[in-house]
Amino acid sequence: MPEVTDLELCQRCNLRPITNERPGTSDRLCGDCLAELESEMNALFRVGGALMQGFLSVFGAMPKGVSGELILRTMVANAMSGSEHPEAKALVARMRAASDELERELPGGRDNPGFASQLEERWRRLPLSGVSPPGGSA
């Protein structure tokens, strides 16, 4: 493992230094890799969510009013919830905060028929990496 220095290299490409140009952004990735990773993860959620929905539908197991993308994002959050990594913890906290906030805003909370689709929209807008706290736009 390389020593932590001002010029620590990105853990993904091992070519470019970590710049931390934006406050609250990743402490492991260069800006280019961070942008690529976010783009890849959003593609994963979109494409994987559609595949998940197709798979579950074949078996009559698709819950009503929920998309495959929302199921996949929830699965990723659950998988990350046991991680001690600060960025994983921050992402799970941002997702929970967005969910709790929406529950407070909508009449009927989680029972509101629009809850799932609006939650999916809010989760899409969250930054996937970085250690900014819930609600912090940093």
Stretch of 24-32, 54-62, 72-80, 109-117 contacting Zn ion, by CB under 5 A: 24-32
Confirm or reject binding of residue 72 to Zn ion (CB under 5 A): no
The residue within the footprint of Zn ion, chosen from 8, 12, 38, 99 (CB under 5 A), is 12
Q: For 63, which DSSP code? A: P
CA dist., res. 28 & res. 20, Å (int): 9
For helices 68-80 and 86-105, give the axis angle rounded to 10 degrees.
Answer: 130
Do 67 and 49 form a contact (C-beta atoms < 8 A)?
yes
Measured from the CB of residue 11, what is the shortest distance to Zn ion in angstroms?
8
H or E stretch covering 31: helix 31-43
Confirm or reject binding of residue 131 to Zn ion (CB under 5 A): no
Confirm or reject binding of residue 43 to Zn ion (CB under 5 A): no
The residue within the footprint of Zn ion, chosen from 26, 33, 45, 53 (CB under 5 A), is 33
